[in-house]
Amino acid sequence: MSVGQKSNWELIKNGMFGENTIFRMAISLCPSIAVTNGMKNGVSLGVAVVFVQTMVNVTVSLLRKFIHPKIRIPIFMLIIAGYVTIIDLLMATYARPIYKEIGLYIQIIVAFASIFARAEVFASKNKVWSSVCDGFGMGVGFLLAMLVISFFRELLGKGELFGYSLIAGNPLLIMILPAGGFLAVGLLMGFFNWIDMRFFGGKGASGV
Amino acid sequence: MTSMDMVKITFNLVVIYVIGGLIMAFVYAKTSPIMFIKAKEEKEAALKLMMPEADKIAVLGDWEPHEKHAEYYAARTCGEIKITQVKDEKTGEMKDEEECLNPSDIGYIVEGFGKGYSSYIHVLASVDKNFIVQKISVLGHGETPGLGDEIEKDYFLSQFKGRSAENLVVIKGETPDKIQAITGATISSRAVTEDGVKNGVHMLKKELSGEVQG
């Protein structure tokens, strides 16, 4: 990742499309399969990730001069786990109705490869504002991926969107089971790769 | 790497971890008392919902499923409610205090824990005097969103009504008298049914069999 050559908007766009967590980098696939069987789940997790990803990037970027390179990994881990713990505690205390809905998603963010990867690859080497844009873009990219995957899975697997019935008849049950997650992610990844090759000559879907 | 470097690295790691730990401890110290009170209120509200027809829910004792503290309760109706005026010590105002006379047990409620896929599932189950399950509810868990968290849904919970302890068994697929597992979440279904509710009902039976005649 080069420093300083990209504008903030390009950084955000890069996170959303060029280096999309799921479809381009193929990391954090575990939650993308576990949590995308309904749009409500997918969106909840996506929003939580946008927030934590941005905050972790800011913190790592602020602390980058104080972190010895040899021990950066345990320190990134502490920052991520610390944010998740604090958000979890604050929500459980002051926002219980929301906590009941998305508390589970907050907790599983601890083990997110994508957040870790951005701290390592980008935030530990770049200024704060660039890191904010990178983290936000990556988070939104993840959110978009979750939206697309969960749209197809919920529609095909349950005949519903956001819990509202749309299609009558027997849905394809496999789409809401883990196996359907692999199918959906694989086919969509292939589809985006095809778009990339067909229209952008393999330079990245954003054309950057 | 010189020994100076080693000292530096160790110092760096220790300082950052101590700061991180302090921040978390501070947040925990501030939030945990409020969280504790809110959780208690929620539990009381949940208990009331388990047996809406009861006038009073009284703690009978406690037990330790999975080395966690859990209680069991008697749901009672009052033969007669006596209202007496009592002076509130703090405000000095008079207020009504209800006293339950000749209470009779209409059922029992047990709190339990089941070991699920990724967490202990906290459940409540109410039974009538013959230990037939009336209702169950899930108070808390940390199961996989989208799969395991279906245990909170009514289509799963409503299956428990009218089941005796022997029929609290999870079956994959349709079943007329047992509990049907949630697709993709057999472990969580089993934890609720067999580990949580069934063990709780068995415990109630054992503890209360002396008190119940016919």
In a domain, A88, yes or no: yes
Cβ-based contacts of B28 with chain A (< 8 Å): 89
CA distance A169 to A52: 40
pLDDT in tens, A102-150: 777 788 888 788 888 888 888 888 888 889 999 999 999 999 999 999 8
What residue segments make up the domains of chain B, in order of their start? 1-50, 54-208
* Number of domains present in the structure of chain A: 1
Which tens digits make up the pLDDT trace of A52-92? 899 999 999 998 888 888 888 899 999 999 999 988 898 88
Angstrom distance (rounded) from CA A51 to CA A45: 10
Residue B193 has pLDDT above 90, yes or no: yes
Instruction: For tokens 């503290």, name the residue.
Output: B69
Is A78 part of a structural domain of the chain?
yes
Query: Which domain range does residue A99 map to?
Result: 8-197
pTM: 0.71
Q: Is the ipTM of this complex over 0.90?
A: no
Tokens linked to A95: 């926002």
Spatial contact of A165 and A40, defined as CB atoms under 8 Å apart: no
CB proximity list for B51: less than 8 A, separation 6 or greater: B57, B75, B106, B107, B109, B126, B134, B135
Is the Cβ pair B149, A104 closer than 8 Å?
yes
H or E stretch covering A83: helix A72-94
Nearest CB neighbour to B183, from listed A63, A82, A177? A177
**Residue B95's Cα: distance from chain center in Å?**
32
Chain B residues in contact with A38 by the CB 8 A cut-off are: 146
Q: Residue B211 — pLDDT band, cuts 50, 70, 90?
A: low
pLDDT band for position A5 (50/70/90)?
Answer: low
What residue in A sits closest to B36 (Cα-Cα)? Answer: A93
Mean local confidence (pLDDT), B65-86? 83
- pLDDT above 90 covers a percentage of chain B that reads 31
DSSP B193: I
A155, HSE (Cβ side, Cα atoms, 13 Å): 7
Report whether pLDDT(B114) > 90: yes
The secondary structure element, H or E, covering residue B201 is helix B199-208
Assigned domain for A152 exists: yes
- Judged by a CB distance cut-off of 8 A, whether residue A164 touches chain B is no
Question: Whose CA is closest to B76, among B58, B97, B99?
Answer: B58
Q: What is the least distance, in Å, from the CA of B8 to any CA of chain A? A: 9
Residue A202 lies in a domain: no
| pLDDT of amino acid B125 | 92
Q: Three-class SS of residue B140?
A: strand
Is A159 part of a structural domain of the chain? Answer: yes
B82: closest CA of chain A, how far (Å): 37
A205 lies in a domain? Answer: no
Domain assignment present for residue A206? The answer is no
Q: Is residue A77 one of the residues assigned to a domain?
A: yes
Query: Closest approach of chain B CAs to the CA of A49, in angstroms?
Result: 15
Higher-scoring residue by pLDDT: A179, A1: A179
As beta bridge partners, residue B75 has B57, B107
pLDDT band (50, 70, 90) for residue B195: very high
Does the distance separating the beta carbons of A67 and B16 come in below 8 Å? yes
Are the beta carbons of A78 and B8 separated by less than 8 Å? no
Residue B188 structure tokens: 């969580």
Check CB contact under 8 Å for B17 and A89: no
